[in-house]
């Protein structure tokens, strides 16, 4: 390999001798790179002048000044001519370093291949083309970096070479020195050695080793905070918190997330002259953070009162000091509320108080039994009643029936200042003599020294509104009703099998049919083929006043004798005392269009004629045709 010394020529042309780093070697012959080093600036210039005279590329002397002036062919120093030595591999680094010295990101980027990979030291973004490599060095070159290899390992392969180790940069803009780990992979491209891959990373042991702290030292941080409390200066307390803190205080609902809001909290809290003591502690130490959680007790100097609380401190090492990043303080939960005692018998008696209020036939007295924020979900109104006037309004009408209730069965739960009674009650309507059962839920709360109804949910017995029963065989029979309507060749007869708000997605039309006229219009044309269908396989599902039949059916077209299979979905609903088609989706067999697909093993159930559906009789298609004609 021959190296020409464009780096030297550029330094002579520009007069910037510093372009050549102290470690770069000049070429003393056309086949070998020999290292040289001048101790003085003048000596370096003289040495460079003598070297330029020896630079040859393919036997021709290169005008180094012209090359350097226009930033051309800096890569000529890496021209391929035969094999490469370890010394020449190392020189490729200094060629790259010399490109850094130009301060021109384009020249640096030209040292990389057409499809490079640069994983830079101070950017997370891989750079994989000229523009992105240039973009990185646009910023990096502002630091005026110059590097030297401290420790390196070279490997030479067939058409490639690698140099891996540790290098150190001196930043001319600041004087800082930075060590890093490097990997260069050089390959031959267009007759020159170029950088195919460059991975640079910070020295891992110096990234951030973390500030050491012991568990005892973590606990001592509480003492520093406690000492700040003793000053009664809210600002001194606030200074114990980090720049971006979170304080969830004991006696305020408002999170405090900055200096001013923390200061504001302690302005009031310090009036109590608190001093704390940790009773139980659990410490966890992490990387530049630590946690202390447990139970502490405050003695309030202003009153002598002692208060226990639960605490969590998370400390971070910030600006050379351990600060509180997160502080959560809460009262001891088991002592928050003293429960008002009540027995299950007394809970049941609360219903009697409400029932007695009904007997007065005064809606205001009934509404008085509900708490300030009571919720009533009444039996015969869709409207939730959530305030006193709305509850009064409901009972104004309900009391006209002169109702009196009796609990038939119930289940009681007693909590802390609340109780629940849920079950079944029955009302006798004095105005009519009617008896009505319902399900009830009462939730009572202790409010202003009295038990009140916080939530009252009353509903009808659901089995009294059971859906229309139907069997799977009867569902399958609904298809036969539709098929029989097809046999009449009367599109009105077919359309009448669909519900009022039906949707038909037909087999051979892109247009959804969503009303009677559109459905009839579809069958006007389809019935010309004289179709008769048969279910080959299907799956029935039954719900509350709806059912579904889905599977594969086959039509025989009487007009042509053709047989056509398709996939079907029928959804039936019970409407006006009859089962009707709410949704009908019919589609061609997709494998005829898309090609065969692997099939699972499916056990097919035989499909036959089925019995009548309630009052709807399933009859032969020919009979229905005759009747409807």
**Residue-wise pLDDT tens digits, 266-279:** 999 999 999 999 99
- Indicate the DSSP class of residue 81: -
Q: Looking at residue 69, what is its pLDDT?
A: 31
- Classified by CATH at the fold level, domain 472-592+605-628 comes out as Nuclear Transport Factor 2; Chain: A, (3.10.450)
CATH number of 6-206: 3.10.450.50
The two beta strands, 192-202 and 112-119, are parallel
How confident is the model over 323-331, as a mean pLDDT? 95
> What number of CA atoms fall less than 13 Å from residue 207's CA on the CB side?
10
Beta-ladder partners of 404: 428
Lowest mean pLDDT among 135-144, 197-206, 211-220, 597-606: 597-606
Question: Residues with Cβ < 8 Å from 94, sequence gap 6 or more?
Answer: 7, 21, 23, 24, 25
> What number of CA atoms fall less than 13 Å from residue 29's CA on the CB side?
4
Query: How is the chain split into domains, by residue range?
Result: 6-206, 215-335, 344-464, 472-592+605-628
Q: Looking at residue 205, what is its pLDDT?
A: 72
- Indicate the DSSP class of residue 285: E
The whole-angstrom separation of Cα 555 and Cα 534 is 6
Chain-wide mean pLDDT for the chain? 84
Question: Residues with Cβ < 8 Å from 363, sequence gap 6 or more?
Answer: 391, 392, 393, 394, 395, 396, 399
The whole-angstrom separation of Cα 259 and Cα 266 is 11
The whole-angstrom separation of Cα 440 and Cα 626 is 55
Q: Looking at residue 577, what is its pLDDT?
A: 83
Options 3.40.50.1000, 3.40.50.300, 3.10.450.50, 1.10.10.1800; CATH of 344-464: 3.10.450.50
Lowest mean pLDDT among 73-82, 122-131, 582-591: 73-82
The model's pTM: 0.32
Do 476 and 540 touch, CB atoms closer than 8 A? yes
Question: Residues with Cβ < 8 Å from 500, sequence gap 6 or more?
Answer: 575, 580
Residue 387 has pLDDT above 50, yes or no: yes
Output Rg (C-alpha) for the chain, integer angstroms: 45
How confident is the model over 461-465, as a mean pLDDT? 72
Which residue, among 611, 581, 576, has the nearest Cα to 468 in the 3D structure?
576
Residue 379 has pLDDT above 60, yes or no: yes
CA distances from 189 to 73, 177, 456, 590 (A): 14, 33, 83, 53
The whole-angstrom separation of Cα 9 and Cα 52 is 6
- The residue to which tokens 């004798």 are assigned: 561
What whole-number percentage of the chain has pLDDT above 70? 80
CATH number of 215-335: 3.10.450.50
Lowest mean pLDDT among 59-63, 165-169, 328-332, 480-484: 59-63
Which helix (H) or strand (E) covers residue 310, if one does?
strand 306-318
Do 344-464 and 6-206 have the same topology in CATH? yes
Question: Residues with Cβ < 8 Å from 111, sequence gap 6 or more?
Answer: 74, 75, 78, 95, 96, 99, 194, 195
Confidence label for 606 from pLDDT (cuts 50, 70 and 90): low
Confidence label for 77 from pLDDT (cuts 50, 70 and 90): low
The whole-angstrom separation of Cα 84 and Cα 269 is 77
């Amino acid at each position: 390999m021959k190296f020409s010394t464009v780096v030297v020529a550029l330094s002579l042309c520009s007069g910037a001798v510093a372009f050549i780093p102290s470690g770069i070697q000049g070429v003393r012959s056309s086949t070998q790179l020999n290292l040289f080093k001048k101790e003085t600036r003048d000596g370096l210039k003289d040495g460079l002048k003598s070297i330029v005279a020896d630079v040859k590329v393919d036997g021709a002397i290169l005008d180094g000044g012209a090359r350097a002036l226009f930033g051309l062919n800096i890569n000529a120093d890496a021209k391929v001519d035969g094999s490469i030595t370890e010394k020449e591999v190392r020189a490729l680094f200094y060629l790259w370093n010399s490109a850094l010295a130009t301060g021109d990101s384009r020249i640096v980027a030209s040292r990389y291949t057409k499809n490079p990979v640069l994983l830079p030291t101070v950017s997370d973004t891989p750079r994989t083309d000229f523009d992105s490599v240039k973009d990185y060095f646009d910023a990096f070159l502002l630091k005026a970096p110059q590097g030297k290899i401290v420790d390196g390992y070279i490997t030479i392969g067939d058409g490639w070479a690698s140099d891996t180790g540790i290098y150190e940069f001196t930043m001319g803009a600041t004087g800082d020195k930075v060590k890093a780990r490097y990997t260069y992979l050089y390959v031959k491209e267009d007759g020159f050695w170029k950088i195919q891959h460059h991975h640079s990373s910070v020295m891992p042991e110096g990234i951030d080793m973390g500030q050491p702290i012991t568990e005892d030292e973590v606990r001592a941080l509480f003492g520093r905070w406690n000492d700040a409390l003793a000053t009664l200066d809210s600002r001194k307390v606030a200074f114990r918190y980090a720049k971006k803190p979170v304080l969830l205080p004991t006696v305020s609902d408002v999170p405090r997330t900055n200096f001013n809001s923390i200061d504001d909290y302690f302005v009031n809290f310090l009036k109590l002259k608190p001093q704390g003591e940790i009773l139980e502690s659990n410490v966890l130490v992490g990387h530049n953070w630590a946690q202390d959680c447990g139970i502490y007790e405050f003695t309030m100097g202003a009153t002598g009162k002692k208060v226990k609380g639960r605490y969590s401190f998370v400390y971070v090492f910030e600006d050379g000091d351990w600060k509180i990043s997160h502080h959560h303080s809460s009262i001891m939960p088991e002592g928050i509320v003293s429960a008002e005692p009540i027995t299950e018998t007394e809970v049941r008696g609360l219903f009697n108080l409400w029932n007695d209020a009904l007997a007065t036939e005064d809606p205001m007295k009934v509404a008085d039994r509900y708490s300030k924020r009571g919720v009533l979900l009444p039996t015969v109104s869709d409207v939730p009643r959530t305030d006193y006037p709305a509850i009064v309004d409901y009972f104004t009408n309900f009391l006209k029936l002169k109702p009196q209730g009796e609990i038939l069965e119930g289940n009681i739960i007693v909590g802390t200042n609340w109780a629940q009674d849920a079950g079944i009650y029955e009302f006798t309507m004095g105005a009519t003599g009617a008896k009505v059962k319902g399900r009830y839920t009462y939730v009572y709360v202790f409010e202003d020294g009295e038990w009140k109804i916080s939530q009252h949910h009353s509903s009808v017995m659901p089995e009294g509104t059971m859906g229309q029963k139907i069997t799977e065989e009867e569902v399958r029979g609904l298809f036969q009703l539709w098929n029989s309507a097809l046999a009449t060749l009367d599109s009105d007869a077919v359309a009448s099998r669909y519900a009022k708000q039906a949707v038909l997605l037909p087999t051979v039309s892109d247009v959804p049919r969503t009303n009677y006229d559109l459905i009839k219009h579809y069958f006007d044309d389809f019935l010309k083929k004289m179709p008769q269908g048969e279910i080959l396989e299907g799956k029935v599902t039954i719900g509350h006043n709806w059912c579904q039949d889905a599977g594969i059916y086959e039509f025989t077209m009487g007009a042509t004798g053709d047989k056509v299979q398709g996939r079907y979905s029928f959804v039936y609903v019970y409407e006006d005392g009859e089962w009707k088609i709410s949704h009908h989706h019919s589609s061609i067999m997709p494998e005829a269009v898309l090609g065969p697909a692997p099939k699972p093993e499916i056990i097919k159930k035989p499909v036959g004629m089925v019995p009548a559906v309630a009052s709807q009789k399933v009859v032969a298609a020919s009979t229905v045709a005759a009747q409807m004609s």
